[in-house]
Amino acid sequence: MPDNLTYKIIKEHLVEGEIKKGSEIGIRIDQTLTQDATGTMAYLQLEALGIEKVQTELSVSYVDHNTLQNGFENADDHRYLQSAAAHFGVWFSRPGNGICHQVHLERFGVPGKTLLGSDSHTPTAGGLGMIGIGAGGLDVAVAMAGGPFYIKVPEVVNVQLEGKIPPWVGAKDIILELLRRLTVKGGVGKIIEYSGTGLKDLSIPERATIANMGAELGATSSLFPSDSVTRNFLKAQERGKDWQLLEADRQANYDHEIIIVLDDLEPMAAAPHSPDAVKPLSEIKAVKVDQVAVGSCTNGSYYDLCLLAEIMKGQVVHPGVSLVVAPGSRQALITLSREGVIEELVRSGARILETACGPCIGMGQAPPSGAVSVRTFNRNFAGRSGTADAKVYLTGPAAAAAAALRGEITDPRELGDYPHLKDEYAPVIDDRMIIPPPEDGSNVRILRGPNIKPVPLNKPLPQQIKARVLLVVEDNVTTDHIMPGGSKVLPLRSNIEALSEYVFSGLDKDCYLRAREYGSNLIVAGDNYGQGSSREHAALAPMVLGVKAVLAKSFARIHQANLVNFGILPLTFRDPADYEKLSAGDDLHLNNIEKQLRSGQVSIEHVGGGFNIRAEHQLSPRQLKIIKAGGLLNYTRLNNDLN
């Protein structure tokens, strides 16, 4: 049977299970990446697993998120990560070298390989024809230790890009169009595979922009073929030998087909506060802009910044706008400097930031109160910028340039002729900020700081859970709601007890106090609970606050896996209408849990209400064992088995 590219790569990596829709399979992971905000936990867990050396073909530890050093915490984490990388045989990309996804694409990604990363935007690597998947740090630690990664066999969507993209419309508009059509939960359980006549005009960084934001669809991954464009990119990166031709078989089967006619697209933006609140820029009128931010793993490439500079050339940013620019990698920054682009940007009034995530995760550059910020990033959840009442619009770099010049949201087509960017691509290759691991790192001492605490463990599943409803939350609650980012909270990522005081703090700052008072808690949620990031802290911190179960209408993939990994029971309503029957403070009992879980259905007693809620679970037999053991670390230790 003719195969799509996704199945071809999965089949080559299959180590457990059968490729049958919906069933769980284990795949071999060739490469892993971690970043600093999730990496300390991942390596602490690798230590807890008792592993001596990583077993992957390549593992890289990046420092790109927590780069503001307001206190010792982030710097201590960086030192811990550097020493742990040397100890375990992991490459270390130093702070200042760039954002993990962009650096990985440029320096390490290989078509046809699998990449597991402790960051939800790991699918960026799909721009190069590899399957990149985001996961919690513990899953990545297990993969580094040589264990398979488990996923449900995904549905594969064929997105055909046909025709030619008009001037002023870019890769970002393609993925925004898909978000407009499919919404933030439209990709759950799916891998998005791209094809069509439009592909030949899309460079690898542009493909990476699209693959990157597939995470906002909730997709497991996004995948482009590996073609002559890929070959030229790899050659320019002096990695031509890593190239191979990879494409779907002719007449390959797909579960869904979507056609996007590129000629019909226009410049768009995702309006506050969701990446799927997409509108054409021509329809957004008279919105004054206070800040424009360009960069991130979505649009921080050399090309993106050249486009910004070219549009702004000879002009200066509007007096009411602060323009901040963070190149995505040191390679991009050096190349842009060599070509005078940085000078152009500075002349146009850009405030050049470190090559890091920066404002995307609220690590500095919080906009003023009530501000409008136009960002080339991928997420615009309320509060993520660091300013609770700021409104963030997500656009491509051309629209960002137009907003920076005009001081209001502007359709970039109003600026006249589209600038001509030169085609050739000659990046400066200089890997001296990437430290290879020593041959034998077993004697390298791992350096810890006082804020780096051991990974907390859960207890095995009891026979009965008596819990109080801590919170009832709506649809599409993000991990940023559950466990906020930002420069104040992120430095606590290595200290779960301290971090737990911020659980749901954006919704209710006293939530943690109530959770401690109740002792045993349950969260009730709507659809797509836990969308967004891969941060396992959104499971770990609730766990230390005594959250035993989450009862939702549905879950986002990575967060559900993280809940299981830390022994928190993810249950879904059999009848979503029952959601209305529950309120914060209700007492619920789950009796005879093991027996009920075995049957797949769980009846939850509402104490005081005199009724029962019917729930179910979608856990595989393997996940049930993990839940029973009180999480994956306990389970792995019990079985002393990574397979």
Residues of this chain that interact with ligand MIC (CB under 6 A) are: 37-38, 65, 119-121, 134, 361, 379, 485, 532-535
Helices (H) and strands (E) in the chain, counts: 21, 27
Q: Would you say 113 or 384 has its CB closer to ligand SF4? A: 384
Q: Nearest distance from residue 392's CB to ligand MIC, in Å?
A: 13
Q: Would you say 299 or 572 has its CB closer to ligand SF4? A: 299
Q: Would you say 134 or 154 has its CB closer to ligand SF4? A: 134
Residue 554 corresponds to which tokens in the numbers above?
């549905």
**Partner residues linked to 263 by β-bridges:** none
* Residue 99 interface partner, choices ligand SF4, ligand MIC, none, CB cut-off 5-8 Å depending on type: ligand SF4
Q: Which of 341, 357, 404, 446 binds ligand SF4 (CB under 6 A)?
A: 357
Say which residue the tokens 């990596």 belong to. 13
Say which residue the tokens 């792995």 belong to. 636
Q: Nearest distance from residue 605's CB to ligand MIC, in Å?
A: 35
CA-CA distance, 602 to 621, in Å (whole number)?
16
Number of residues near ligand SF4 (by CB under 6 A): 11
Who's near 459: CB < 8 A, 6+ residues apart?
Answer: 567, 630
Q: Nearest distance from residue 488's CB to ligand SF4, in Å?
A: 16
Contact between 61 and ligand SF4 by CB under 6 A: the answer reads no
Contact between 297 and ligand SF4 by CB under 6 A: the answer reads yes
Q: Is the dihedral of CA 177, 258, 106, 310 positive or negative?
A: negative
* Residue 534 interface partner, choices ligand SF4, ligand MIC, none, CB cut-off 5-8 Å depending on type: ligand MIC
* Residue 557 interface partner, choices ligand MIC, ligand SF4, none, CB cut-off 5-8 Å depending on type: none
- Asked whether 116 and 143 are in contact (CB, 8 A), the reply is yes
Residue 242 corresponds to which tokens in the numbers above?
């890593």
Q: Nearest distance from residue 212's CB to ligand SF4, in Å?
A: 7
User: Residue 213: what residue type?
Assistant: M
* Residue 296 interface partner, choices ligand MIC, ligand SF4, none, CB cut-off 5-8 Å depending on type: ligand SF4
Q: Nearest distance from residue 178's CB to ligand MIC, in Å?
A: 18
- Asked whether 132 and 123 are in contact (CB, 8 A), the reply is yes
589-608 binders of ligand SF4 (CB under 6 A): none
* Residue 567 interface partner, choices ligand MIC, ligand SF4, none, CB cut-off 5-8 Å depending on type: none
Q: Would you say 112 or 358 has its CB closer to ligand MIC? A: 358
Contact between 99 and ligand SF4 by CB under 6 A: the answer reads yes
Who's near 240: CB < 8 A, 6+ residues apart?
Answer: 231, 234
Contact between 452 and ligand SF4 by CB under 6 A: the answer reads no
Q: Would you say 38 or 365 has its CB closer to ligand MIC? A: 38
DSSP reduced 3-state for 325 = strand
DSSP reduced 3-state for 258 = strand
Contact between 119 and ligand SF4 by CB under 6 A: the answer reads yes
Q: Would you say 212 or 634 has its CB closer to ligand MIC? A: 212
Residue 444, Ramachandran bin (φ over 0: left; ψ between -120 and 50: alpha; else beta): beta
DSSP reduced 3-state for 632 = helix
What is the per-residue DSSP string for 582-602? --TT-EEEE-SHHHHHHHTEE
The C-alpha angle 500, 637, 141, rounded to 5 degrees, equals 60
Binding segment for ligand SF4 (CB under 6 A), chosen from 50-58, 163-171, 355-363, 584-592, is: 355-363
Q: Nearest distance from residue 296's CB to ligand SF4, in Å?
A: 4
Q: Is the dihedral of CA 421, 424, 430, 433 positive or negative?
A: positive
Say how far residue 490 (Cα) sits from the centre of its chain: 16
- Which string of x and - marks every residue 358-377 that binds ligand SF4 (by CB under 6 A)? --xx---------------x
CA atoms within 13 A on the CB side of 347: 12
* Residue 535 interface partner, choices ligand SF4, ligand MIC, none, CB cut-off 5-8 Å depending on type: ligand MIC
Contact between 46 and ligand SF4 by CB under 6 A: the answer reads no
Q: Which of 378, 458, 520, 528 binds ligand SF4 (CB under 6 A)?
A: 378
Q: Nearest distance from residue 322's CB to ligand MIC, in Å?
A: 22
Q: Nearest distance from residue 235's CB to ligand SF4, in Å?
A: 26
The C-alpha angle 330, 334, 338, rounded to 5 degrees, equals 170
CA-CA distance, 430 to 624, in Å (whole number)?
47
Q: Nearest distance from residue 545's CB to ligand SF4, in Å?
A: 25
Neighbours of 445 (CB within 10 A): 8
Residue 86 corresponds to which tokens in the numbers above?
């040397």
- Asked whether 367 and 385 are in contact (CB, 8 A), the reply is yes
Binding segment for ligand SF4 (CB under 6 A), chosen from 26-34, 236-244, 357-365, 513-521, is: 357-365
Q: Which of 4, 74, 296, 534 binds ligand SF4 (CB under 6 A)?
A: 296
Q: Nearest distance from residue 388's CB to ligand MIC, in Å?
A: 17
CA-CA distance, 376 to 395, in Å (whole number)?
5
Q: DSSP class of residue 57?
A: S
Q: Nearest distance from residue 120's CB to ligand MIC, in Å?
A: 4
Residues contributing to the site for ligand SF4 (CB under 6 A): 65, 99, 119, 121, 296-297, 357, 360-361, 377-378
